[in-house]
Structure 1
C-alpha cells in the first residue's frame, strides 16, 4: 500500500450513486447537480448484480454503460463497484445452500442484503464470473479511479454456521493446527469432556445449552475474518489481472461492528477506506468518531485514507435516527480530514424513494435543492476546496494506543469476571482522556513498532501473545512511558490463562502481582486516595517493584493499591486497576504524557474543542474544531484557509466553528 492519491488535486468529495433506482432523465439531472456540488468521485454498481445479470449468464450492461459515460463526460471519476455485495434472487433460488445460517442453526433468507455464506464456493464462482465481466468491460476506462470490491463485507453475514461453513472451519483448523492433538491442547478440550478424536467431529460454535468453549469461539472469529478476506482476495486478483486501477473495499471501523480483524486485512488494500456513521446510541458519538478516524489512520500505517461513506443527516437503522445540527456536517467532516482523510464520500447522492433505506439521508434530500441540507452540502464542498492543499500531508502524533480485535472478541466471552466490563468502553475511555487533553494518538496493533512514540497506552489488552508482550516490555526498557489498564495480559493467543498471577504477560514490566479480581456491581464506586472515584473493577493487588500512586479508601479492598508506577529499565510503566471516572482518567493520563514529554496541540480543550496538526512538504496545518458553544482562543500564526484570513499570534474559533491554519507567516 503506497501513499495513495485520489485523482482530484485536493480533498476529494464523493458519493454513492444508485442509478438503477432512477430513470435516465433523473440521471442527467443528478450529474448536473453533482457538478454544482463539486462532486469529484462517484461510486456506482455497488448493488448492481440483479441488473447486470438478470438471469444466469445473461449480462446486460447498456444502462451502466450510459451512466459511466455520462459521469465521464462531466469530468466525474468512478469508484466502480464489482456489484457482488448481495446475490440476485435467481442465485439463491437455484442454489439455496448459498444462504447463511445463524448461531442457532436456522437459515437466513433473502429479502435483505448479504444473504450468502462467506464459505460458499457456489457464491464465489458466480460472483467471480460477474467481476470478470465488469473488469474486462471497464478495466481501462479513462474515468476509472479505483475499484470497490463488494460492499461492507461481513456487515451482516460475517459469522455463518451452516454446514458449508462447518466444513470450511475444519479445513481452516487443519491448516492452523496440523494435528488433532494440537487442537485439543489449544482449546483445552479436557474440560467438560470435549476432546476430539477426528476433525469431522468439530462443529462451529453454534448455540448450546451452556457456556461454549471460549477458545473455539475465538478461533471461529479468526476463521470467519479470514474467509471473507479470501473472498476479497479472489475478487481483487481478477480486477488486477484486467486493470491497473487501485483496489479496495470499505471497512466498518465503528462501535457496533467487530467481526473482522482489519489488522490482517489492511496490507491487502491499495488504499484504506472506511464507512463511519455517528452512533447516537452512544453517550458521546463525537468522541467515537474521533477514535474511529484515528484507528482508520492506524490501519493506513499513518498515510492518508478515505472516508468511503458517511451520512449527510440521519441514518435509518438506529432506534432514534437523529439528524445533524447546524454546522455539524462541516465539523464532523473536518474531524475526519484532520485525522488523516484525504477523501470524503457520502452514502448516498439522492435519497431513495423506496426500499429499506428510504429514510436514510443523502446529499440531495427528498425535498430537493431548496433546503438547508443542500446548502450545508454546498458550504462543505466550498470548504473542502479551500483546504485542498492539506491533501497528502500526515498527522503528527507522539502517543500510541494499542487496539486488538482479538482482545475485543475474547475479553467479552460468555463467562468472564464481570459482564459490565466491555472492551470497547475501556478503549474509548483511554482515547477520550487523550482527546480531552489535546493529545493526538495513533491507534496501533499489538504488533506495531512502538519505538518512535513517547508514550503508549494499553487499555484492556486481555489477549496478547508472547512476542507482542515482549515488544511492549522492550519499549519501556528502552526509555518509553507505558500506561496499562486492568484486564490486560490475562491470556495467551489460545485464551489460556497466564498462570502465576495477573496481569500475566505484564507482571514484570508493571512491577505488580494481582492475586484475585474483585469486580464491583454496576452503580457502585470506590474512592481513591487521590480524590477520584473508580467503578466496575478492583483487584487484590500487591506491588512487587512498583510504587503505589493511589490506594482505595473504601470498597472491598481498602488500602490496596489502585494505581502504581514502576521503573523498568530506562522507562516507566503505570498500571490502573480500576475504571476511573472521566476526570480521574484524564488526570492520570496527563501525568503519564507529561512525564513522557508529550506536548499537547492545544492546552486541554476538554473534548469540546479538537486541535490536530497535519504536516508535510515543509508545512504544518493546524485544525481546530469547536464542537462547543463558547469561543476558544489558541496561539497560531499563518493563514486560516476556510476564510482566507490572516492569523497573527492568536486564533479565535467561535462556538460551533472550525479553522484550518496554514502555519507560518500570515498573509
Structure 2
C-alpha cells in the first residue's frame, strides 16, 4: 500500500504527550484552555491508554476519548493519536502470560512497568492488531487526527525475548536470511568449538552459555529481535493506512542516547511515513548540547535529509537519571530551536501536565505541579510564540557540510565479547569525531556504509569513518571511487575488519579498507588502562605532538602512503600513527590510535585543509545552522555561552546573539 505524503496536514508542531486518563474530566477543559494560551498546536494522545480504551476483553470505552478529541478539535489543536500497544492491560497478561518476555537467563519478566512484550508472541500480535483496528475504524477519518503514533520507543526497555516461541520464530528468520543450514554453518563459523547444526530445530536463541556464545549467533539474534519488533510496527501501520488513508504513521525513534544500542534506524526509517525522535539531555558530565546536535543531525540523516519531528524532550529535568538538574533559564528554548535548526518541524515534549503519581511524577512537563505562576510556564508560552513565528520554515531542509559514516549493525557486532580491548567503543569514537566537527561549526550529515556508491566529493568534500568494525565488502570500491574523484577520507582505527557475518575479511587488516588506505596493519597492540603513548608529527615541533591512549598498532605504509605522524614511544615507537594515501585527485587518511579533545581536533583540521574546507569563524559554542527551501533561507545562531556573541551576516552587517539565546535570520529570497 503506498504511503501517504508526510507533512500533508501537519502544522509546525508545538505541544506534548497528553494523558487525560490521569485526571478527572473537570481538568480537561482547563487543560485545553491553557494549551491555547501556550500556543499548543498538537498533542500526542492515547499512547499508554489501552487499559482505559479496552477495560475488559472486547469491551471498549470510547466516551472519554471522544470527549477529549472533541475538546481539542474545537480549540484548533491537532491530535497525534497513539496505538497503545506498548502496554497491554493486566487482563491481557492474565490470559496470556506467555506474552511476557523471557531474559537470556530464562527469567520471565512481570507486568507492572511498560514494554514487557515478546514481539514474537501470536496472542500479543493479534491483540495489538485488534485494538489498532478498533482505533482506526473509530478515528481514522476524524479531522483532528493528523498523525498516527504506533507503540512507543521500540526497544525501550526490552527488545529481545529468549522464549521458546522466539526460538521457533528465530529458526524461520534464519531460513529466510541464510537459506540452507550449510550456509548458516559457514556464516556462523560453527566449525569453531564444534557448534555445527544438522537440523534447524537444534538452533536456539543465544541464551546464557558457560563461556562466550557464538558471536554471529548473537549478532543475528539482535537483527532478528529488531526485525520482529519492526514487523509488528508494519502490521499496525498497514491497518492504519487502510482505515485512515492520507494520514501519516510514525513511531518515536531514539537515535542517539549516550548509552544503549536501540534498533537499526536506517532500516526503520524506510517503514515510517514521518521520522520522529525523542531526545533527552544526558547529564553525564559531557557537553549536553553537542549530543543534542548529534541526535538532531542523525535523525535528519535517517530521514534522508527530509524534515522530521522532535516528538519528545523535556522542559527541564527528567527523573530517570542518577542526577536530574533543572535546565537553566532559556535552555529549554535553546534546545527546542536547536532541534528545529537541524530539521525538526516543531518541538514536542513529554508531557503536557506533570503527573502526580507513577514512575515519572518528578519528570518535568509543560504545565508543572505548581501551575502557571512560575518561570517554566512563562518560558513555555514564549516558546509557543517563537515556534508560531517560524511557520514559513515548514518544508525547508538543513544544509550539511561534511559526512560521517555510522552503522548500528557494526556497533552491535563490535560490542560483543572478546574483542582486542573491552574498552573499544564505536559510539565513543562517533561522539569524539562529531564534537571535533561541531567545534569547527560544521553541520554533519550521516550515511550508512551501504549508501556510499554515488557519494559526490563536491557535495561532501570530507567523509569521516569514526569506527566501522563491520564493513560490507562493497565499501572498498565505493570509497576508492569517492577518494579518486577528489574526496578526502578520514578513517579511525579498528575499521573494515569483518564482514556482515563478523567474519574477518581475507588478508591483512584493515580488511575492506586496506587498499584505499594504502597500508596494512601487522598487529594490534591495545594499551592498558591508564597507559598512554605520544604521537609526533613528522618534522613537527612540540606543538604538533599529541597524547594517545587505548590503542596502538603496527602500521606498514604501502607505496604512495605518506607517514604524517609516528608513535613517539611505547611498544610501537617509530611506527606510523597517522598516514595519508593519495588516490586519484583525493586522499585517504588513517589514524591508528585514539586521540581526544584538542589533539583529535588538530588531526581533523589537517583533513579539513586537505579537503579545502574553511570552517566558519564563530566563537566557541555558538552554532550556525542553515535551513533553506522555497520559502527562503533561515540562519539559526544558537549561543550556548554565558556571553553575548557578535556574528557576521551574509550582507556584511553584524548582529548580536544574547547569552544563552537563539536568533533566526531570514535571507531575502
**TM-score band (shorter)?**
over 0.9
Name the residue aligned to 2:158: 157
Alignment pair present for 1:314 and 2:317: yes
**Shift of residue 175, structure 1, vs aligned partner:** 0.9
1:83 aligns with 2:84: yes
Matched residue, 2:584: 569
- 1:434 match: 437
- After superposition, the Cα gap between the structure-2 partners of 1:605 and 1:163, relative to the gap in structure 1 and judged at 3 Å, is farther
Shift of 1:317: 1.0
Match of 2:575 in 1: 560
2-structure distance, mates of 1:445, 1:604: 30
By how many angstroms is 1:7 displaced?
A: 4.1
**Counterpart in the other structure of 1:519:** 526
User: Does residue 172 of structure 2 align to residue 171 of structure 1?
Assistant: yes
For residues 138 and 373 of structure 1, the distance between their equivalents in structure 2, rounded to whole angstroms, comes to 34
**1:266 matches 2:269:** yes
Quote how far apart the aligned CAs of 1:552 are. Answer: 1.1
On the 8 A contact 1:281/1:318 being kept in 2, the answer is: no
| Aligned-pair CA distance for 1:587 | 1.5
Q: CA deviation at 1:479?
A: 1.7
Q: Which residue of 1 aligns with 2:336?
A: 333
Q: In the alignment, is the contact (CA less than 8 A) between 2:637 and 2:662 conserved in 1?
A: yes
Rounded to whole Å, the distance in 1 between the matches of 2:634 and 2:25 is: 43
Please give the per-residue CA displacement for 1:520-541, whole angstroms capped at 9, x wherever unaligned: 1223221111312111111111
Q: Indicate the residue corresponding to 1:652 in structure 2.
A: 656
Structure 2 residue 183 is the aligned partner of structure 1 residue 182: yes
CA distance in 2 between counterparts of 1:418 and 1:257 reads: 19
CA distance in 1, matches of 2:97, 2:84: 20
| Separation (CA, whole Å) in 2 of partners of 1:173 and 1:204 | 11
Q: Which deviates the most, 527-536 or 310-319?
A: 527-536
Task: For 1:92 and 1:204, locate their aligned partners in 2 and report how far apart those are by CA, in whole Å.
Answer: 23
1:642 is matched with which residue? Answer: none
1:4 CA drift (Å): 3.1
- Residue 558 of structure 2 corresponds to residue 544 of structure 1: yes
Write the deviation string for residues 224-243 of structure 1: whole angstroms up to 9, x where unpaired: 11101100010011101111
The secondary structure found in structure 2 opposite 1:81 is strand
Q: Does residue 198 of structure 1 match 2:212?
A: no
Shift of 1:2: 7.9
Tell me the residue number matched to 1:254: 256
Q: Once structures 1 and 2 are overlaid, which stretch shifts more, 399-408 or 651-660?
A: 651-660
Superposition deviation, residue 490 in structure 1: 0.4
1:637 Cα deviation after fit: 4.8
Could you tell me the TM-score, scaled by structure 1's length?
0.96
Match for residue 66 of structure 1? 67
Q: 1:605 to 1:419 in 2, by over 3 A?
A: farther
Q: CA deviation at 1:192?
A: 1.1
* In 1, Cα distance between equivalents of 2:237 and 2:441: 40
Match of 1:120 in 2: 121
Root-mean-square deviation over aligned CA pairs: 1.5
Structure 1 pair 169–427 and aligned structure 2 pair: CA distance change class (3 A): same
TM-score by length of 2: 0.95
Where does residue 645 of structure 1 map in the other structure? none
Structure 2, unpaired ranges of 5+: 537-543
> 2:22: which partner in 1?
21
What residue in structure 2 maps to residue 384 of structure 1?
387
* Between 485-494 and 205-214, the greater mean CA deviation after superposition: 205-214
> Is the 2:136–2:243 Cα contact (8 Å) retained in structure 1?
yes
Q: How does 1:350-369 map to 2 (within 5 A)?
A: 350-369=353-372
1:458 counterpart residue number: 465
Match of 1:100, SS state, is coil
Residue 618 of structure 1, CA deviation: 6.5
Q: Partner residue of 1:44?
A: 45
Q: Runs of at least 4 residues of structure 1 off by over 6 A?
A: none
Give the secondary structure class of the aligned counterpart of 1:344: strand
- How far has the Cα of 1:6 moved from its partner? 6.3
Q: How far apart are residue 176 of structure 1 and its match?
A: 0.7
Q: Residue 540 of structure 2 aligns with which residue?
A: none
* 1:489-528 superposed matches below 5 A: 489-528=496-535
CA distance in structure 2 between the aligned counterparts of 1:469 and 1:233, rounded to whole angstroms: 33
Q: Describe the shift of the 1:81–1:8 C-alpha distance in structure 2 as closer, same or farther (beyond 3 A).
A: closer
Kindly state the Cα deviation for residue 500 of structure 1 after the two structures are TM-superposed.
1.8
Q: 2:665 aligns with which of 646, 661, 666?
A: 661
Query: Helix, strand or coil: the match of 1:118?
Result: coil
Task: Determine the C-alpha separation between the residues in 2 that align with 1:466 and 1:657.
Answer: 46
Query: What is the aligned counterpart of 1:484 among 471, 491, 494?
Result: 491
Which residue pairs with 1:613 in the alignment? 626
SS at match of 2:474: helix
Cα separation, 2, equivalents of 1:214 and 1:482: 30
Residues 1:591 and 2:637 aligned together: no
Alpha-carbon distance in structure 1 between the residues aligned to 2:205 and 2:324: 35
Q: In structure 2, what is the equivalent of residue 644 of structure 1? A: none
Q: Given the superposition, is the C-alpha separation of residues 282 and 119 from structure 1 closer, same or farther in structure 2, using an over 3 Å criterion? A: farther
1:361–1:104: structure 2 CA closer, same or farther, 3 Å change rule? same
Measured in 2, the distance between the counterparts of 1:605 and 1:441 equals 19
* SS, match of residue 14 in structure 1: strand
The Cα of 1:455 is off from its aligned counterpart by 1.2
Unpaired segments of 5 or more residues in structure 1? 639-647
Higher mean C-alpha displacement, 351-360 vs 582-591: 582-591
Does structure 1 retain, via aligned residues, the 8 Å contact 2:618–2:647? no
Check conservation: 2:301, 2:445, Cα contact below 8 A: yes
The alpha-carbon deviation at position 254 of structure 1 amounts to 2.3
What's the secondary structure of 2:628's corresponding residue?
strand
Residue 296 of structure 1 pairs with residue 296 of structure 2: no
Q: Deviations over 1:364-403 (max 9, x none)?
A: 0111100111111112112222233222111112311010
Aligned length: 653
CA contact (8 A) 2:308 2:344 kept: yes
**Displacement of 1:664:** 4.2
